[in-house]
């Protein structure tokens, strides 16, 4: 089940919220768990067993840690089990395919092996479970009051499939004492509707443009750049829309999750970009990978290596494909170069936004490409090696609606931060004292956009989120 579907909006969500609010406060982790399992099982019932198994495994490891004199040993066993599950389901096919490609290169015969289906959301809930075990071992997180609270934390459906990645220490108190109010629910509904509109109206509108261009074997200069710009906007509003919807659903249930985006395309360095893009993943990689590797505490050379390895593994986390590995290596190399040249600070001139955004766009080409060959062909097009004009084959596929939402998307990317800055400068004035969703005209405009988005969604057959594949 996905948020951007009529069955979720008009059937699952109303029923869940009704049951949730009718349940006494002290037992509300139970409907969260049941509702989340129904939400997950809607995709495939059989993988619900894996999901429940991961939850049970981590709870058993947590209990062993709690009573053992050697907490570190059980923590390591728990983390190893999590990584084994993630490695098998996410990288088995990739490993076999890579090994077969090597065999063919040296004149051997490829081996046959079963094909493993990737369970949806496994990267997110495994990372969430790992952070729980490590934080409890470090005494950096409180112990769950019950199995139901722990299981509800792992399965919390608003962020289950594509984040933001939660840490138990950040929501533990909310499982016991979260506030439910009309104001909080209204804020959540506003965030959900706004994210839904971003996803359906902008991301889904430019998606066909990006898909059609990336399907070309030898895109020209204009085609390549148009496709890269379209995918850059599609990914931005798709993932930001999902994160906003997840945060909104959390608020409707009384939870306040961390923000996952902060206008990343206006960054003036790659370092700043990763402070603004997928914030929950960036902080996870920093705290559970970069710092344990030594961070910047073991000299300059080791710092550069740690930055590179962290992003390399972060790229591999996104998908079992060499394109994701190279995408991670690209960002890791850029972070190391910035650190070497002293370009990592966020107070550099605004002109640095241009090279930073270009570096991000070049990286997204790798991220989007199905294989390295396709990425290289796209890069050839971006430097004019395949001609310059839009081909006749492509011209009839480009719709005015797609170009309109592409321009609108880029306009929002650059103008919205300026609007917020303007608002901060005059926030002392009475007209700007209320929160955005509390202003009648903002609420009405958001509801109107939501209705338009629902109508558009109803005319389409399916609207998946890009990060569901990770």
Tell me the C-alpha distance between 57 and 78, whole Å. Answer: 7
3-state secondary structure 105-151: HCCCCCCCCCCCCCCCCHHHHHHHHHHHHHHHHCCCCCCCCCHHHHH
Quick one: average pLDDT of 120-125?
Answer: 90
Report the first-to-last Cα separation within the chain, whole angstroms. Answer: 16
pLDDT at 430 over 70: no
Lowest average pLDDT, out of 170-179, 390-399, 434-443, goes to: 434-443
Q: Place 461 in a pLDDT band, splitting at 50, 70 and 90.
A: low
What is the per-residue pLDDT for 432?
A: 46
What is the per-residue pLDDT for 431?
A: 47
DSSP state letter for 467 = G
Quick one: average pLDDT of 219-238?
Answer: 95
Quick one: average pLDDT of 446-460?
Answer: 85
Q: What does the mean pLDDT of the chain come to?
A: 89
pTM of full prediction above 0.85:
yes
Active-site residue list: 318
Please give the share of the chain, as a percent, with pLDDT higher than 90: 61
Quick one: average pLDDT of 302-318?
Answer: 90
Tell me the C-alpha distance between 203 and 463, whole Å. Answer: 10
Lowest average pLDDT, out of 257-266, 295-304, 319-328, 408-417, goes to: 295-304
Cβ pair 323, 347 in contact under 8 A: no
Tell me the C-alpha distance between 463 and 188, whole Å. Answer: 22
Residue 433: count of CB within 10 angstroms of its CB = 9
Cβ pair 201, 457 in contact under 8 A: no
pLDDT at 349 over 90: no
Quick one: average pLDDT of 390-409?
Answer: 91
Strand partners of residue 387: 385
Residue 413: count of CB within 10 angstroms of its CB = 19
pLDDT at 467 over 60: no
Total length of the chain: 470
User: Locate tokens 């261009």: which residue?
Assistant: 213
Lowest average pLDDT, out of 44-48, 239-243, 252-256, 460-464, goes to: 460-464
Cis peptide leading into 164, omega within 30 of 0? Answer: yes
Tell me the C-alpha distance between 97 and 91, whole Å. Answer: 10
pLDDT at 411 over 90: yes
Q: Phi and psi for 469 in degrees, rounded to 5?
A: -75, -10
Q: Phi and psi for 114 in degrees, rounded to 5?
A: -65, 155
Residue 20's nearest CA partner among 259, 258, 249 is: 249
Cβ pair 372, 322 in contact under 8 A: yes
Quick one: average pLDDT of 183-193?
Answer: 93
Tell me the C-alpha distance between 59 and 154, whole Å. Answer: 10
């Amino acid at each position: 089940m996905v948020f951007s579907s009529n069955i979720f909006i008009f059937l699952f969500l109303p029923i869940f919220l009704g049951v949730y609010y009718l349940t006494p406060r002290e037992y509300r982790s139970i409907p969260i768990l049941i509702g989340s399992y129904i939400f997950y099982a809607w995709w495939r019932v059989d993988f619900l067993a894996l999901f429940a198994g991961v939850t049970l495994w981590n709870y058993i490891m947590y209990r062993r840690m709690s009573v053992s004199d050697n907490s570190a040993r059980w923590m390591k066993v728990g983390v190893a089990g999590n990584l084994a599950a993630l490695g098998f389901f996410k990288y088995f096919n990739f490993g076999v395919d890579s090994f077969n490609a090597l065999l063919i290169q040296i004149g051997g015969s490829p081996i046959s092996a079963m094909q493993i289906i990737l369970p949806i959301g496994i990267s997110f809930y495994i990372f969430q479970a790992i952070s729980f075990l490590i934080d409890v071992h470090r005494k950096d997180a409180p112990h769950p009051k019950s199995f139901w609270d722990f299981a509800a934390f792992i399965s919390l459906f608003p962020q289950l499939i594509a984040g933001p990645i939660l840490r138990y220490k950040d929501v533990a108190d909310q499982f016991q004492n979260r506030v439910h109010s009309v104001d909080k629910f209204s804020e959540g509904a506003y965030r959900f509707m706004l994210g839904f509109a971003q996803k359906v109206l902008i991301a889904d509108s430019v998606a066909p443009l990006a898909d059609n261009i990336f399907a070309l074997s030898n895109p020209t200069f204009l085609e390549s750049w148009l496709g890269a710009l379209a995918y850059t906007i599609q990914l931005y509003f798709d993932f930001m829309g999902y994160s906003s919807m997840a945060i909104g659903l959390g608020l409707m249930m009384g939870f306040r999750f961390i923000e996952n985006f902060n206008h990343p395309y206006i960054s003036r360095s790659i370092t700043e970009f990763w402070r603004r893009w997928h914030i929950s993943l960036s902080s996870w990689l920093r705290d559970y990978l970069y710092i344990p590797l030594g961070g910047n505490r073991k000299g300059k050379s080791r710092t550069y290596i740690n930055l590179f390895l962290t992003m390399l593994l972060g790229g591999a986390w996104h998908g079992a494909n060499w394109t994701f590995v190279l995408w991670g290596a690209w960002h890791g190399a850029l972070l190391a170069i910035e650190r070497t040249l002293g370009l990592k600070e966020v107070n550099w001139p605004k002109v640095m936004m241009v090279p930073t955004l270009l570096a991000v766009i070049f990286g997204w080409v790798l991220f989007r490409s199905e294989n390295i060959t396709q990425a290289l062909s796209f890069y050839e097009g971006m430097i004019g090696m395949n001609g310059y004009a839009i081909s006749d084959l492509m011209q009839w596929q480009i719709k005015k609606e797609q170009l309109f939402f592409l321009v609108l998307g880029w306009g929002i990317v650059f103008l919205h931060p300026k609007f917020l800055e303007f608002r901060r400068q005059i926030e002392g004035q009475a007209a700007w004292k209320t929160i955005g969703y509390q202003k009648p005209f903002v609420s009405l405009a958001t509801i109107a956009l939501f209705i338009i988005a629902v109508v558009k969604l109803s005319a389409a057959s399916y609207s998946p989120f890009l990060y569901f594949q990770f």
